[in-house]
Amino acid sequence: MGKQRVDRSSWIEAASLPLLLLVWQLLAMLADHRLFPTPFEVFREIWHLATERYLLEDLGKTLGRAALAFVASMTIGIAIGGALGRARTLDRLFSSWILIGLNIPAIVVAIACYIWLGLSEFALILAVTINKTPLVAVTMREGVRALDTGLTELAQAYRVPFLRRMRLFLVPQLMPFVLTSARTGLSLIWKIVLVFEVLGSDGGVGFRIGVYFQNFDITGILAYTLAFMAVVIAFEYFVMRPLERRVLGWRQA
């Protein structure tokens, strides 16, 4: 019975994207306007752009920037969140900083970095990292606060080595918070990188969408958007979900 429910859920989930394309096709047929292209027209544009190599180069630039900003923000955010979660004094001292970082508009950070550092790759990645880090820090701070101190005390009483204690007790408890930070962070970074590329860059998906916007080329905009979303969805299904099942499998055991 349980297996049948799982199979049914899988089929329903698999039908989600085809249903979206069907709705898109019907709406495009109803609109019947050059500014509302059909999925077929957009897919044809994707093929054309991919064969001309512009699409692949722009995707590579955007994904590279997103990857660097993601690694930097996760590393810094985990370190800050861990420190704030363990030291109440630090948390009280820097809580206002975190609050400002969470609420300051991303566009302000991007413009300030571009003015100070120029329209450079480093400025773009730094701006994305600054916007993402506070979110990771807050999530990890709550994760450290939620640690079961009883397990830590038990491990210390039995003189469990530090590295083994980290692997068996601390890391499994913190991994749900790390994965939550990673998933929410990725969804935020994808968007911010594109916006910052529109503001100023020498290439990338956002840069190319800005060019198409100036020419009112909605087919090109949707082609780049769809190609980029395909990469994001593939990353979710083939990287994040298997990683989540592998890391958090002990919770269903």
Q: Phi/psi at 15 (nearest 5 deg)?
A: -80, -5
Q: Which CATH architecture has domain 34-251?
A: Orthogonal Bundle (1.10)
Please tell me the distance from the alpha carbon of residue 7 to that of residue 2, in angstroms, as a whole number: 9
Q: Phi/psi at 43 (nearest 5 deg)?
A: -65, -35
User: Is 77 within 8 Å of 181 (Cβ atoms)?
Assistant: yes
Please tell me the distance from the alpha carbon of residue 37 to that of residue 27, in angstroms, as a whole number: 10
Helix runs in 87-120, H state only: 88-103, 106-117
**In the chain, domain spans:** 1-32, 34-251
User: Is 224 within 8 Å of 55 (Cβ atoms)?
Assistant: yes
- The sign of the dihedral angle between the CA atoms of 17, 23, 26, 32 is negative
* Interval 10-59: pLDDT, tens: 777 778 888 888 898 899 888 888 888 988 999 988 898 888 778 889 99
Please tell me the distance from the alpha carbon of residue 132 to that of residue 104, in angstroms, as a whole number: 11
| Mean pLDDT for all residues in the chain | 84
User: Is 100 within 8 Å of 130 (Cβ atoms)?
Assistant: no
Q: Which residues contact 14 (CB under 8 A, 6 or more apart)?
A: none
* Interval 104-151: pLDDT, tens: 888 899 899 999 998 888 999 999 999 999 999 999 998 888 876 666
pTM, whole model, 2 decimals?
Answer: 0.82
Q: Would you list the DSSP string of 191-249?
A: HHHHHHHHHS-SSSHHHHHHHHHHTT-HHHHHHHHHHHHHHHHHHIIIIIHHHHHHHSG
User: What is the structure's pLDDT at 127?
Assistant: 92
